[in-house]
Amino acid sequence: MKPDHSLNDTNIDAGLYGAASALLQVVRPGDQNAPTGWHEFETPIPRASGAAVSTPGSTGATGGTVSGTQAPTGSGTPPAWITSLNDPVIKTDMTAASAGGVVSEAGMGQLFLDLAAELTANNSTLSASQLTDLQTIAADLNVGEAASSYVTYVTDALIDGNAANATWTGGAASAITLGNLAVGSTATQIVELADKWFLGSDLPNSTVQMSGESTFSVYYSPEANPVFGAAGPSINDINQGYLGDCYLLSSLAECAAQDPSIITSMITNNGNGTYGVRFFVDGSAEYVTVSNDLADGGTAFNRATDIWASLVEQAYAQVQAGGDITGNGNNFNYGNSFSTIANGGYPEYALEEITGASTITDFYGAGTAWSQYVYNDALSMQSAASGLTTSWVLTTLATDLAAGNDVVLASRTYAYDSSGFITLVADHAMSVYGYDSATGDLEIRNPWGVQSGQTWDTTFEVSLGTLLGDGDTITVDDMTVSTPSVVSGALVSAAAGLQANATVTAFSISDTAANVSGAFASLATDTKLTSITLTDPATPQFTLTAGQYTADSTVLAKIISAYGLTVTGAAASAATALQSNP
């Protein structure tokens, strides 16, 4: 079964609902009888009083020439299948697109626009022979030359058909019928298919509808900011706007914090103001092309000085043209529209679609203990467990974070700090970007980010016990970073997991003397443990028997803080050695 707890965050006062027991029901996502152990999370940033609503403007959705740079011209002979093509325009452009042995996205886009121009000049429609040529291209694109998985996918989608071809939106207030390529396809249809798959001009619907909120409109205009900042993707690039897609943005922020290469690998820069964006759906890569024509020039929704998150956010709206992948399609499916992603979704879906993780694990606060549900890359349940202790879950999460796995919190209640600023938000997803070994708390970042006059804490800490009491859900993927890591300041409770984690080469502990002394025996076997810092406010005292002192000497030698030691029952022969021990 697939989980079903999308976050309903357009009504920011609404609470979560449902019980984990419903997770045992076997359903597909979006089924009418979907279990309620998962919840939709979508709380948009609160709109400032009197904030203006954008008015529609130019969509920038017209077809045209592709201005990107094609692959360098090579001197080799084109593959035999290219020379066998019948239509001279198709043959010439396919030869140019694959010059140098690498098929360029810009070259393929130009091929379809030139084909449309040929049909217009001849006052004709696509012939059976021309369609056969195109089908040959789709079948043999990687024979005798190389095309990226992105170029291969969008070429196949245009030629062989895709569910997203059913309609064309182009940033307008409503969609029109488009259809798959076929004998008799018109030049206009071919241009729109090329615009959809290669030019990124099939922009989302200009009208945005969120449950409980007034409908508003956006316009599209180019944004000249760079895709990434100088340091690459950052968690601080996520600043959610007036759109209920926290489940997506918190997942993006988490990936940027844990392993920025996940983000950079999602986006292909075509060099002409268009970008390929990859999502994993049921374990398979799917691509959509977006342009730098962003909603309200990139100010309507996520806000940053670079545009990678806005590109992914817009791509996530556009990819819904092929069918809802938020998990909330039965309730809100507007196709290629921000409305589809603005009314709640599932952190489980978003993490899987961003990362392509092989497993997604939920820890669900179920009364006095945690329940665990493990899903595969198609989000079908593989296993379940219950009665897990907070200590065990915390150790697991600390280990996951240290290993580079992505962790997202789905909160179901409001909470405030001592100054009255909002910390936890009902029906809201947030990134769990770290573990504070000194406090034993999880470090949380709200995707609302930073804004002048904000009433919330962008980052804060919360105990796992609090989240258990609130009945929250914590979602974890298995995107362990392969680079070996050193973990500093872990709690004693995390030691066993860190010792067993293949990606951890060394770790240190920061914990109380009581916790350390209670685990002397197990810590003695932890070969990756390098040092121990005692966090007690005063100098702690250990009292050990002579036998314990001998057995625990390895651990004692790793304590770098000051402590007092009393040894009882020592033999007289050991007195000199004990006296000289500082």
Residue 43: per-residue pLDDT: 63
How is the beta sheet containing 369-376 ordered, strand by strand?
381-388, 369-376, 359-366, 473-477, 407-411, 428-436, 441-445, 459-462
Tell me the average pLDDT across 392-398. 94
Tell me the average pLDDT across 95-119. 96
Query: 149 vs 486, which has greater pLDDT?
Result: 149
Query: Are residues 448 and 523 located together in one domain of the fold?
Result: no
Query: 75 vs 226, which has greater pLDDT?
Result: 226
Q: Is residue 397 part of a domain?
A: yes
Residue 490: per-residue pLDDT: 78
% of the chain beyond a pLDDT of 70: 84
Full DSSP string of 125-176: ---HHHHHHHHHHHHHTTSSSB--HHHHHHHHHHHH--GGGGEE-TTSSS-E
Residue 512: per-residue pLDDT: 87
Q: Is residue 415 part of a domain?
A: yes
Tell me the average pLDDT across 364-373. 95
pLDDT at 70 over 90: no
Query: Are residues 532 and 435 located together in one domain of the fold?
Result: no
Q: Is residue 557 part of a domain?
A: yes
Query: 499 vs 172, which has greater pLDDT?
Result: 172
Domain that holds residue 453: 357-477
CA distance 244 to 256: 20
Query: Are residues 450 and 491 located together in one domain of the fold?
Result: no
Q: Is residue 249 part of a domain?
A: no
Q: CA torsion sign, 147 to 151 to 155 to 160?
A: positive
Q: Which residue, chain included where needed, has tokens 């392969």? A: 482
Domain boundary among the residues 460, 477, 494 is at 477
Picking from 226-240, 483-497, 567-581, which range would have the lowest pLDDT averaged per residue?
Answer: 567-581
pLDDT tens digits, one per residue of 293-309:
999 999 999 999 999 99
Q: Are 315 and 327 in contact (CB under 8 A)?
A: no
Query: 219 vs 568, which has greater pLDDT?
Result: 219
CA distance 157 to 155: 5
Q: How far apart are the first and last CA of the chain?
A: 60
pTM value is: 0.78
Token pair listed for 572: 């007289």
Instruction: Indicate the burial class of 148 (C-beta count within 10 angstroms; 0-12, 13-18, 19 or more).
Output: middle
pLDDT at 567 over 70: yes
Tell me the average pLDDT across 460-464. 98
pLDDT band at 63 (very low <50, low <70, confident <90, very high): very low
Residue 501: per-residue pLDDT: 75
Residue 436: per-residue pLDDT: 94
Query: For 578, which DSSP code?
Result: H
% of the chain beyond a pLDDT of 90: 70
Domain boundary among the residues 447, 477, 507 is at 477
pLDDT tens digits, one per residue of 249-289:
999 999 999 999 999 999 999 999 999 999 999 999 999 99
Query: Are residues 411 and 515 located together in one domain of the fold?
Result: no
pLDDT at 212 over 50: yes
Distances (CA, A) of 439 to 73, 185, 410, 517, 539: 60, 65, 21, 19, 19
Checking DSSP bridges between strand 381-388 and strand 407-411, what pairing results, if any?
unpaired
Q: Which residue, chain included where needed, has tokens 């810590």? A: 523
Query: For 474, which DSSP code?
Result: E
The whole-chain average pLDDT of the chain stands at: 86
Q: Is residue 259 part of a domain?
A: no
Residue 482: per-residue pLDDT: 52
Domain boundary among the residues 459, 477, 495 is at 477
Query: Are residues 442 and 503 located together in one domain of the fold?
Result: no
Residue 9: per-residue pLDDT: 46
pLDDT at 30 over 70: no
Q: Is residue 15 part of a domain?
A: no
Q: Is residue 303 part of a domain?
A: no
Q: Is residue 162 part of a domain?
A: yes
Query: Are residues 489 and 473 located together in one domain of the fold?
Result: no
Query: 571 vs 336, which has greater pLDDT?
Result: 336
Query: Are residues 515 and 463 located together in one domain of the fold?
Result: no
Q: Are 387 and 367 in contact (CB under 8 A)?
A: no
pLDDT at 327 over 70: yes
pLDDT tens digits, one per residue of 467-524:
999 999 999 999 876 545 677 777 787 788 788 877 678 888 888 898 898 899 899 9
Which of 14-23, 93-102, 325-334 has the highest mean predicted lDDT (pLDDT)? Answer: 93-102
pLDDT at 380 over 80: yes
Residue 365: per-residue pLDDT: 96
Residue 53: per-residue pLDDT: 36
Query: Are residues 459 and 548 located together in one domain of the fold?
Result: no
Full DSSP string of 289-355: EEESEEEGGGTSSS--SS-HHHHHHHHHHHHGGGS--SS-TTT---SSBHHHHSB---HHHHHHHHH
The phi-psi region of residue 423 (left if phi > 0; otherwise alpha if psi is between -120 and 50; otherwise beta) is: alpha
Residue type, 299: T
How far is Cα of residue 342 from the mean position of the Cα atoms in its chain? 16
Residue type, 161: G
pLDDT band at 558 (very low <50, low <70, confident <90, very high): very high
pLDDT band at 390 (very low <50, low <70, confident <90, very high): very high
pLDDT band at 582 (very low <50, low <70, confident <90, very high): low
For the chain, the domain total comes to 3
Query: Are residues 470 and 384 located together in one domain of the fold?
Result: yes
Query: Are residues 361 and 473 located together in one domain of the fold?
Result: yes
pLDDT tens digits, one per residue of 403-449:
999 999 999 999 999 999 999 999 999 999 999 989 999 999 999 99
Torsion of CA 559, 564, 569, 572, to 10 degrees: 90
Query: 489 vs 217, which has greater pLDDT?
Result: 217
Q: Which residues contact 301 (CB under 8 A, 6 or more apart)?
A: 240, 241, 242, 243, 245, 295, 310, 313, 338
Write the CATH number for 396.
3.90.70
